[in-house]
Amino acid sequence: MKVVYGRTAYAEPLVELGATDGDPLAAFPGDWVELVAIPDEARQWIVREGKEVEGERDYVRARD
């Protein structure tokens, strides 16, 4: 499974589009200037002080 982010203009922020097991471009067709697919195993949750705060997640980043 991959979480997919995209934007249609460079001035816009990346937004989460959803998840897919297949080709991200086929799952989310459109005029993208940037489409990023991050595999589940490459994502890492960083949680503040060892606990989640009111349903809020800290920054999600991909591992190198």
**pLDDT at residue 46, rounded to an integer:** 74
DSSP code for 51: S
- pLDDT tens for each residue of the chain, 64 residues long: 999 999 999 999 999 999 999 999 999 999 999 999 999 888 877 776 656 555 555 444 444 4
**pLDDT at residue 41, rounded to an integer:** 87
**pLDDT at residue 49, rounded to an integer:** 67
Task: Report the C-alpha gap between 63 and 8 in whole angstroms.
Answer: 25
3-state secondary structure at position 17: strand
**pLDDT at residue 11, rounded to an integer:** 95
